[in-house]
Amino acid sequence: MTDKTPPLSVKIARLVQDIYPDQDANVLASLIVDAFWPAQAPRRKRGRAPGNNLWSQKDALIITYGNSIIDGAYKPLDLLHDFLLRYLNGAVNSVHILPFFPFTSDDGFAVSDFRSVHPQLGDWPDINRIAKDFSLMSDLVLNHVSSQSNWFNAYRQGQPPYDRFFFEADPADDLSMVVRPRTTPLLQEVETTKGPRHVWCTFSHDQVDLDFRNPEVLLEFLRIIRLHVDNGVQIIRLDAVAFVWKVVGSPSVHLPQTHAIIKLMRLLCDHTPEKIILLTETNVPKGENLSYFGNRDEAHAIYNFPLPPLILHAMMSGSAQYLRKWQRAMPPAPLGCAYLNFTASHDGIGMRPAEGLLPEGEKEKVIETVRELGGLVSMRALPDGGQSPYELNTTFYDAMSRTFKGTDDHHFDRFICSQTIVMSLEGIPAFYIHSLLATPNDHAGVEHRGMNRAINRHRWNYPTLQSLLADPASPQAAVMTALTDRLQLRARQTAFHPNATQFTVNLEDARIFALWRQSLDRRQSIFALHNVSDETVTIQGAALNMIEDETWIDLLSGEALHPEIETISLAPYQCRWITNHPS
């Protein structure tokens, strides 16, 4: 039987035609291959077929800055490596080190040199050592670069190829439809050897947007991906990818060319002998976010952005009503794809993903409660000139210190419940380092740095942190122990494979968020129950449909449960993982 699958060069050329219809597709396809596989680097004859073997229930990820842990003596990357091995080995096997390159602002996301490691963090050998022990995620900040980068300086001097690397517009253009996450002016006037120019700045005036209409920009980023892969990176995070293609007079977000660029990157990654996972970062409403799976030909994984605001609301309100409604309507990830589940990241808790999922009145309650606990609110500009809450700035640990009712004695249990939900859902769980460390809001950091997001970007002194982790009575030790114990337990359960079957159990009592997970081989079932309220809740045992003639046990408490049990009780914020085949 003849294999009718087109060769890689033909597939690349077809995508090139979609992105750059005015270019010679075959010539550009050849340049793309040379950029991604220089010097005849090996590649697969056939693309990696979509499947469930890129990840397993053993996968869990920590999100951290390269200098989240410091001591003033050792390189921060070496301290991070020590922390990972000492405290998280066996619980977390993947690490996302946020931009570790030289930068000028935005804590790394205004990159000035994509090919170097920031000297204050370490160097490539330090990155290599971490990559040998953990699956490593790096950031491809492909929408913009620092206004002080060599690329932008060369642009201002009219030096090719950088003289065509940046997106220019005219202040007279109709830019009213442009979707943005910031309130600063979109265009910035700069002086160049060709006279004044107005460059596009989606995020800030220190972050100047690149012009992907120039294929040289795409080729350069393919070379950068290759550099990262050669240094042990396995997961490429496409930062702010939704904005990379601009068209004056349009919203300039989620444009067809953007999706075609991701398809091209996915095609190349699936033809590498190394395992490379593409993760898109698109902090937008549900439908727009899901579109980045494409037809199983774009991102391998996407952030599950509605989770943080919905879990936050559930824990503050004591009702999983909206979390459950959203989850019931969520599709399983396509074959070969997965969700990345989280409650907190280096950014705030995005409110745009809650659009259409939380009523305005409920969102206002969340925002007010965050303000009452000492958190902050960042705004975004609207096309009509107004502003809207874009994200809530607080550590998730502190966010769990208060509910709509006020403060109580359930802070710890409420927080652990919120993180257990992340572990139970279909997908790969990810945890910001400050969630694992029960870090409180850093108000001094906000005052010192003049930036709301600094509240959630504390830098721990390592000796101080180690002392706290050695004290069982500290919140840091209690949270770290509870979460790592559950992660190690989770890693042994095949029903928690990222693509294992999931069904949202529609219990009458909205105080319980309940899921049924079943392993790919259908051997193990787990009923994951989470009481999001401060009250003891009892449910009917029959609601779980536990298979007869099998022994069921709650993995978290060790309690044996008979299939014919009449009722099951959950204390305030208690979670249960009830299974028929514990591992």
- Residue 239 annotated as part of some ligand binding site: yes
Residues in CB range of 333: below 8 A, 6 or more apart: 293, 339, 426, 427, 498, 499
Look at 3 and 41; give whichever has higher pLDDT. 41
Which of the 8 DSSP states describes residue 295? T
Q: Is 279 annotated as a binding residue?
A: no
pLDDT band at 3 (very low <50, low <70, confident <90, very high): low
For residue range 474-487, what is the model confidence (pLDDT) as tens digits?
A: 999 999 999 999 99
pLDDT > 70: percent of the chain: 99
Helices (H), 461-570: 462-469, 475-490
Q: Is 78 flagged in the annotation as binding? A: no
**pLDDT-based confidence at 1, cuts 50/70/90?**
very low
Choosing from 239, 270, 398, 554, the catalytic residue is 239
* pLDDT number for residue 67: 98
Helix (H, G, I), strand (E, B) or coil at 349: strand
Detail the DSSP E strand segments found in 49-206: 61-64, 69-70, 94-97, 135-140, 144-146, 187-192, 195-200
Instruction: Quickly list DSSP for 335-348.
Output: TT-EEEE-S--SS-
Q: Considering the domain 144-209 in this protein, what is its CATH number?
A: 3.90.400.10
| Domain residue ranges of the chain, discontinuous segments joined by + | 61-142+214-496, 144-209, 501-579
Is residue 237 a known part of a binding site? yes
Q: Which CATH entry fits the domain spanning 501-579: 1.10.287.610, 3.10.450.50, 1.10.3470.10, 2.60.40.1180? A: 2.60.40.1180
How many helices and strands (H and E) does the chain possess? 17, 25
CA angle centred on 117, ends 75 and 343, rounded to 5°: 80
Rounded Cα distance, 121 and 138, in Å: 14
Find all residues with CB under 8 Å of 494, minimum gap 6, and list them.
Answer: 57, 500, 519, 520, 521, 523, 524, 583
Check pLDDT > 90 for residue 5: no
Q: For tokens 């202040």, what's the residue? A: 171
The mean pLDDT of 460-480, rounded to a whole number, is 98
Confidence of residue 383 (pLDDT cuts 50, 70, 90): confident
| Mean pLDDT confidence for 131-152 | 98
CA 469/CA 482 separation, integer angstroms: 12
| Residue range 314-358, pLDDT digits in tens | 999 999 999 999 999 999 999 999 999 999 999 999 998 999 999
What does the pLDDT read at residue 103? 97
**Is the pLDDT reported for residue 512 higher than 70?**
yes
Correct CATH for 61-142+214-496 of 3.90.650.10, 3.40.50.10490, 3.20.20.80, 3.40.50.300 = 3.20.20.80
Over residues 486-509, the mean pLDDT reads: 97
Is 140 annotated as belonging to a binding site? Answer: no
Mean pLDDT of 560-574: 95
239 included as an active-site residue: yes
pLDDT, tens digit, for every residue of 191-207?
999 999 999 999 999 99
pLDDT for 239 equals 96
The percent of residues in the chain predicted with pLDDT above 90, rounded, is 92
Q: Output the pTM of the full model.
A: 0.96
pLDDT of residue 549: 86
Q: Cα separations (Å) of 306 from 289, 313, 332, 354, 365? A: 9, 11, 15, 6, 17
Distance CA 7, CA 188 (A): 44
254 is in an annotated binding site: no
DSSP 518-533: E-TTS--EEEEEEE-S
Residue 496 and residue 519: Cα distance in Å, rounded?
7
Q: What is the DSSP string of 415-455?
A: HHHHHHHHHHSSSEEEEEHHHHTTPPP-HHHHHHHT-GGGG
Give the tens place of pLDDT for each residue, 205-221. 999 999 999 999 999 99
Q: What is the mean pLDDT of residues 55-62?
A: 98
